[in-house]
Amino acid sequence: MHDDDGDDGYFGEKIADTYDESTEGMYAPDVVDPAVDLLAELAGDGPALELGIGTGRIALPLAGRGIPVHGIDMSRAMVARLRAKPGGDAIGVTVGDFATTRVTGSFSVAYLVFNTIMNLTTQDAQVACFRNAADHLRPGGCFVIEVGVPDLRRLPPGQNAVPFDISPTRWAFDTYDVATQSQSSNYVTIIDGRAEHWSIPFRYVWPAELDLMARLAGLRLRDRWENWRRDPFTSESGGHVSVWEKPA
């Protein structure tokens, strides 16, 4: 991932062109509002840093609450969609790998939403991301991640794929390698009688592993909920929103 060679990674022009439509459900008020409520509460009167800002699904309404927002994203195509939206040109964005790219200033809250921590496909990169977030935080500031819990209980012995969307024109499934924690989301779409395949690699990560990454970065767990509505996190939760704090 580089910030100077035009590499948009797996979120280039083709994906960016339909990204908002393909994730339409994530823009519903009952999804967005609780996230923005929590992030605005943690930001207080300070600025917020979004790692993987994308097309601004969270950044734009957060900025609408009066919170100064800066973003980091390697995809120029996704950032161009953000810029084209009302208010998008007022949000500062630095193009680069959010695991290592530094920006000027310090922040009350840094955050990663919608499983984006898994776009970093090595443990080293995920550890670096925590350190990068911590380095950007003010004392007392918080780092927030929204991510799913690996769904390995759906894998019977000998199987490494789990379907999550099957229709006459699209087949979508996740694959897992439990030895390396490698994961990929795969999409097969039928267009004009021809199949097109698209795949994105991930590295799934456990809540306890994230807590260790936070400790390596000098952060401590403050809260963990099942979702942005702050429901309790349990052994049956399919995801979590976790908040780590930088000691004052």
Cα angle for residues 194, 198, 201 (degrees, 5° grid): 160
Topology of domain 13-149+205-245, CATH: Rossmann fold (3.40.50)
Note the pLDDT tens digit of each residue in 118-154.
999 999 999 999 999 999 999 999 999 999 999 899 9
Note the pLDDT tens digit of each residue in 24-59.
899 999 999 999 999 999 999 999 999 999 999 999
Structural domain boundaries in the chain: 13-149+205-245, 152-200
Q: Poorest-confidence range of 2-6, 180-184, 219-223?
A: 2-6
Find the helix or strand (DSSP H, E) in which 143 lies.
Answer: strand 137-148
Rounded to whole angstroms, how far apart are CA atoms 38 and 172? 32
Rounded to whole angstroms, how far apart are CA atoms 45 and 145? 20
Contact 110, 201 (CB under 8 A): no
Note the pLDDT tens digit of each residue in 159-191.
999 999 999 999 999 999 999 999 999 999 998
Per-residue pLDDT at 2: 36
Distances (CA, A) of 57 to 177, 231, 243: 31, 22, 20
Distances (CA, A) of 170 to 44, 163, 191: 43, 11, 9
Beta-carbon count within 10 A of 189 CB: 14
CATH code, residues 152-200? 2.20.25
Q: Is-above-0.85 flag for pTM?
A: yes
Q: Poorest-confidence range of 22-26, 110-114, 191-195, 233-237?
A: 22-26
Res 7 pLDDT > 90:
no
Res 6 pLDDT > 60:
no
Number of H helices, E strands in the chain: 6, 11
pLDDT range class, residue 5, cuts 50, 70, 90: very low
- Plot region of 230 (φ>0 → left; ψ -120 to 50 → alpha; else → beta): left
Mean model confidence pLDDT for the chain: 94
Res 65 pLDDT > 80:
yes
Of 242, 55, 48, nearest to 136 by C-alpha is 48
Distances (CA, A) of 146 to 81, 83, 140, 191: 22, 24, 20, 33
